[in-house]
Structure 1
Amino acid sequence: MKVVALVSGGKDSCYAMMKCVQYGHQIVALANLMPVDDAVDELDSYMYQTVGHQIIVSYAKCMGIPLFRKRIQGSTRHQKLSYKMTPGDEVEDMYELLKEVKKKIPSIEAVSSGAIASDYQRLRVESVCSRLGLVSLAYLWKQDQSMLLQEMIDNGILAITVKVAAMGLNPEKHLGKDISFLYSYLHKLKELYGINVCGEGGEYETLTLDCPLFVHARIVLEEFQVILHSSDSIAPVGILHPLAFHLETKAESVSVGGCDKMNDLHHENTGLVYEVQAENSEGCVDAKESVADVTVLTKAADDGLQISTKKEDLAFSVSCWLGASESSGLQDDLKGVLRKIEAELSGHNLDWRNVLYVHLYISDMNEFAVANDTYVKFITQEKCPSGVPSRSTVELPLPHVGLGKAYIEVLVTKNEEKRVLHVQSISCWAPSCIGPYSQNVLYMAGQLGLYPPTMTLTKGGAVAELELALQNSEAVAKSFNCSISTSSVLLVVYCSESIPSSERGKIQDKLEAFLKQIRSSSTKEGKLSKVLDHLSLYVLVPDLPKRNDN
């Protein structure tokens, strides 16, 4: 994919670009947000690093690609974790910036960012990407910070500290120092005080002066001033203000990741800097159109729908389907089913916020895109402020048993307190997900045997796919401090009917072996306190979302 990279100047955003190139993407533009006043070094921002912004202008020449910059007009107005479009918020500046980049380079498909552990930042980038129809690439997400810092150093990133704000870091002593010089000391501070060695807790910020993507020149900082923001005796805060720098041309200039092959902008414009002007009205149309669409959906007729409610102590399930004779196509069937479930929830004084998990069954996986587009427009973040429900989607022969083209079963609870993990960015951690992975009672969305960085199915057949799907599930489970081998009560394994009979026994053997391996590893690490008996349910279905080779 062609990628615009969000760059702050820090090591993380630069290394994220390197990972994009590693996985076959092409960096065609850079995007940066900066203060309104050039004399200001740092803003009170939850989103953006601005220290060292005076030097970012050089990145265009260093890489030989255009840099788009916008001055930050907004402030932090929407402080909840999950973001929704808020006029005047600093996130809208990112939206306007990336919208202009997409306008100038229409072939751009994705946005790269250096998010490692901040859900707050990742969710905002994902929100903007969703509104612009772009893919979020976050290849550093959930990576071990010690290993990540070592990788950056080993892969040639030269970055210096431009802000320090943590116990053990002294502005006079540690500002302007290379991360390779500070590596051992940062790990010592981690042992002493528990700091994040990559600075994810705001302990320090960096400025990249050279990296392998700087194919034309490196930055040489000649002179700087240390500005003390806080003289606190325990954790003084200081920043580095650049006074003089120059570019040092590299002996050989080569193309990295196809950076020199620009089809959208004239070649003579590569390396130029564009400043995007503010547009106060931007961003409002998207939200209004989305609300209008949902309003229309809720007014359609409900004829022919059947609903079943099964109550339990802690939760209850609601199933809804359409008779085959009433079916008028997947989109209309799904709209009708969703409306009926919403009405049933309302009858219990509940809504989509109370739904933990959704089983979506469709009659033809060729229509998955239609089903997903209809689903996500109806069950929105606005309806579920704490996070939309987890979801799995498989194909079932619904018309053969007298049903319409869509069948839904939802698990509902009256307890609205749930912790949702919904990562839509493509990363090295686990596959990006249309619906959230899980909630605090671990209802995990469906996992396929996808290689997370490329979102492609692993080769080797059904057994290999199962193993990778289990690894992906374990990665998600660890984010909730548990394991699928020690915490799972029920594992549902959907198998395509295209899998040969000879392979089906091997799938069960692989599942048992994988769980045994994880359980053994947890025991050695002293993490296994109680093992729950698990039940594996195997369901043979006609098709799965990545087609019939699953």
Structure 2
Amino acid sequence: MKVVALVSGGKDSCYAMMKSIQYGHEIVALANLMPADDSVDELDSFMYQTVGHQIIVSYAECMGLPLFRRRIQGSTRHQTLNYKTTPGDEVEDMFILLNEVKRQIPSITAVSSGAIASDYQRLRVESVCSRLGLVSLAYLWKQDQSLLLQEMISNGILAITVKVAAIGLDPAKHLGKEIAVLTAHLHKLKELYGINVCGEGGEYETLTLDCPLFINARIVLDEYQTVLHSPGSIASVGVIHPLAFHLENKDTAISLSENDKTSDSSLEKKGSVFVVQGDFPQRSEATCQSNSETTNLVEVRDDRICISKTKKDDIFSICCWLQDSCKTSAGSHEDLAVVLKHIESQLAGYGFGWEHVLYIHLYIADMNEFAAVNETYVRFITQEKCPFGVPSRSTIELPLLQVSLGRAYIEVLVANDNRKNVLHVQSISSWAPSCIGPYSQATLHKEILHMAGQLGLDPPTMRLCNGGPSAELEQALVNSEAVANVFNCSISTSAIVFTIYCSAHTPLPERFKIQEKQDSFLKQTRLLHLDKGGKCKILDPIFLYLLAPDLPKR
């Protein structure tokens, strides 16, 4: 994919670009947000690093790429975790900036950012990407910060501290120092006070002066002034205000070959800087579209509708399908529209909505219609309707028509309350497969974690791993473990039920290998978890094997 990289000047955004290139993507433009006033070093922002912004203009020349910059006009208005489009919020500045980049370079399909652990920042980048139809790349997400810091240094990132704000970091001693020099001290502070060694908790910020992506020149900071914000406190806050810098040309600088050139007219001037202006949008076009499409999709009245309900305590399930749909329906997506509309009506009858749904099992008659089914699905189940997060989901093909269950059969698990914790990571990363689609990786409700269906996808490439079905199962289990770890639990020590979907295309000998691989994986991970704590309570889970005609991605 062609990528615009969000750059703050810090080590994280630079290394995120390097990782994007490592996984086969191409950085074609840079984007930066800076203060409205050049004399201001740092804004009171939950989103953006601005210290050292005076130097970012040189990144265009250093990398030989166009740089798009916008002065931040908004402020932090929407402070809850899940962002909703809010005029005047600083996130809208990012939307305007990236929208202009996309307008000038239509071939761009992805955005790179340096998010490591902040859900607040990640969710806002993902929100903007979703509105613009772009893919979020966050290859540093959930990586071990100690290993990550060492990787950055080993891979040639030369960055200095431009802000310190943590106990044990003294502006007089540690400002302007290379992170390679400070590594040992940062690890010591981690042991003493639990700081984030990569500075993810705001302990410090950096400015990258050189890295392998700076093919034309490196930055030399000649003179700077130290500005103290809270001198004398336990954790003094100090920032660097650059006064003078210059670029030092590299002998290894290369020019683009004819084959590397792109047809986008805005890229003809490599190293150019574009200032992006414009007013805040009042409403998201994507939001308006999804709301209008849902209004008059289908009528609820249908003699073919069949429904089943079961209830236990404060959780209940609704199953819905159509009989004899093969005579009147054009496809799975039409059946699904009728079924979803009816379930929506059922939920409303209880005084509930889609936000009360914890999990959805979606069964379709033909996996070839998966894309059309998803388009119908997102008309009903949207972020706007699910402010706490969209439900987790599994989707497989079943021979529904043979047993008169229509072309789409759906089961929804509903809670009487909204006390749930939803994990919905839409960024592509090395952590676990992204849910770019309209569902979440997992939903936690009353100590039960409902996990979405997991394929054997390699997270950073989102491609099925090599090695056949047994290798896919192992990767799917690794992915499941990564998701579970976010909730401080483990699938190997705390799982109650495993449902393993196996494609009917899988040869019989491979099915035995799948079970062997599963037994081996669980045995190994159980031992690992027991070694760490020694107090893990191991459950004896139920295993349900289901031979399905087809699965997503075949």
**TM-score class normalised by the smaller sequence:** over 0.9
TM-score (norm 2): 0.96
Map 1:2-13 → 2, pairs under 5 A: 2-13=2-13
The answer as to whether partners of 2:111 and 2:135 remain within 8 angstroms in 1 is: yes
| Residue 437 (structure 1) aligned to one of 438, 441, 448 | 441
2:446 counterpart of 1:446 = no
SS where residue 36 of structure 2 aligns?
Answer: coil
After superposition, give the CA deviation of every residue in 1:269-315 in whole Å (9 maximum; x if it has no partner): 11000001122336533322222122233656544211110111242
Per the alignment, do residues 93 and 280 of structure 1 end up closer, same or farther by CA in structure 2, a change over 3 Å counting? same
Per the alignment, do residues 379 and 298 of structure 1 end up closer, same or farther by CA in structure 2, a change over 3 Å counting? farther
Structure-2 separation of matches of 1:3 and 1:424: 16
Structure-2 separation of matches of 1:282 and 1:271: 33
SS where residue 381 of structure 1 aligns?
Answer: coil
The answer as to whether partners of 2:161 and 2:174 remain within 8 angstroms in 1 is: yes
SS where residue 450 of structure 2 aligns?
Answer: coil
- Letter in structure 2 aligned against 1:280: F
Deviation at residue 438 of structure 1 after TM alignment: 1.2
The answer as to whether partners of 2:105 and 2:266 remain within 8 angstroms in 1 is: no
Map 1:50-449 → 2, pairs under 5 A: 50-254=50-254, 261-265=261-265, 268-281=268-281, 283-297=283-297, 301-325=301-325, 326-433=328-435, 434=437, 435-440=439-444, 441-449=448-456
- Letter in structure 2 aligned against 1:173: K
Deviation at residue 254 of structure 1 after TM alignment: 3.1
After superposition, give the CA deviation of every residue in 1:177-213 in whole Å (9 maximum; x if it has no partner): 1000100000000111110000000001000000000
SS where residue 343 of structure 1 aligns?
Answer: helix
After superposition, give the CA deviation of every residue in 1:84-138 in whole Å (9 maximum; x if it has no partner): 1111111111111111001100000100000000011101111111111111000
Structure-1 separation of matches of 2:256 and 2:6: 17
Structure-2 separation of matches of 1:173 and 1:248: 26
- Letter in structure 1 aligned against 2:376: T
- Letter in structure 1 aligned against 2:478: Q
SS where residue 436 of structure 1 aligns?
Answer: coil
After superposition, give the CA deviation of every residue in 1:17-74 in whole Å (9 maximum; x if it has no partner): 0000101100000000011111111111111101100000000000001000111111
Per the alignment, do residues 302 and 176 of structure 1 end up closer, same or farther by CA in structure 2, a change over 3 Å counting? farther
SS where residue 40 of structure 1 aligns?
Answer: coil
- Letter in structure 2 aligned against 1:35: P
- Letter in structure 2 aligned against 1:504: R
Structure-2 separation of matches of 1:141 and 1:438: 17
Structure-2 separation of matches of 1:297 and 1:160: 56
Deviation at residue 258 of structure 1 after TM alignment: 11
Structure-2 separation of matches of 1:330 and 1:232: 67
The answer as to whether partners of 1:213 and 1:256 remain within 8 angstroms in 2 is: no
Structure-2 separation of matches of 1:259 and 1:287: 39
| Partner in structure 2 of residue 38 of structure 1 | 38
- Letter in structure 1 aligned against 2:6: L
The answer as to whether partners of 2:397 and 2:551 remain within 8 angstroms in 1 is: yes
| Residue 532 (structure 2) aligned to one of 514, 525, 549 | 525
- Letter in structure 2 aligned against 1:142: K
Per the alignment, do residues 50 and 526 of structure 1 end up closer, same or farther by CA in structure 2, a change over 3 Å counting? same
The answer as to whether partners of 1:162 and 1:239 remain within 8 angstroms in 2 is: yes
Structure-2 separation of matches of 1:181 and 1:265: 43
Deviation at residue 139 of structure 1 after TM alignment: 0.1
| Residue 497 (structure 2) aligned to one of 478, 490, 499 | 490
Aligned residues: 547
Per the alignment, do residues 124 and 452 of structure 1 end up closer, same or farther by CA in structure 2, a change over 3 Å counting? same
- Letter in structure 2 aligned against 1:10: G
Structure-2 separation of matches of 1:535 and 1:138: 35
- Letter in structure 2 aligned against 1:498: H
| Residue 514 (structure 1) aligned to one of 506, 510, 521 | 521
Which of 5-14 and 304-313 deviates more?
Answer: 304-313
| Partner in structure 2 of residue 465 of structure 1 | 472
SS where residue 499 of structure 1 aligns?
Answer: coil
- Letter in structure 2 aligned against 1:177: K
Structure-2 separation of matches of 1:347 and 1:118: 38
Structure-1 separation of matches of 2:494 and 2:293: 40
What is the Cα-based RMSD across aligned positions, in Å?
Answer: 1.6
The answer as to whether partners of 2:104 and 2:266 remain within 8 angstroms in 1 is: no
Structure-1 separation of matches of 2:512 and 2:539: 24
Deviation at residue 492 of structure 1 after TM alignment: 0.4
- Letter in structure 1 aligned against 2:503: S
The answer as to whether partners of 1:494 and 1:539 remain within 8 angstroms in 2 is: yes
After superposition, give the CA deviation of every residue in 1:352-398 in whole Å (9 maximum; x if it has no partner): 12111000111111111111122122111111111111011111111
Deviation at residue 232 of structure 1 after TM alignment: 4.1
- Letter in structure 1 aligned against 2:454: Q
Deviation at residue 401 of structure 1 after TM alignment: 1.2
Structure-2 separation of matches of 1:292 and 1:298: 13
SS where residue 533 of structure 2 aligns?
Answer: coil
SS where residue 70 of structure 2 aligns?
Answer: strand
Q: Which runs of 5+ in 1 are unaligned?
A: none
Structure-1 separation of matches of 2:453 and 2:302: 29
Deviation at residue 220 of structure 1 after TM alignment: 0.3
The answer as to whether partners of 1:337 and 1:408 remain within 8 angstroms in 2 is: yes
Per the alignment, do residues 303 and 57 of structure 1 end up closer, same or farther by CA in structure 2, a change over 3 Å counting? farther
- Letter in structure 1 aligned against 2:507: P
Per the alignment, do residues 298 and 75 of structure 1 end up closer, same or farther by CA in structure 2, a change over 3 Å counting? farther
Structure-2 separation of matches of 1:66 and 1:195: 36
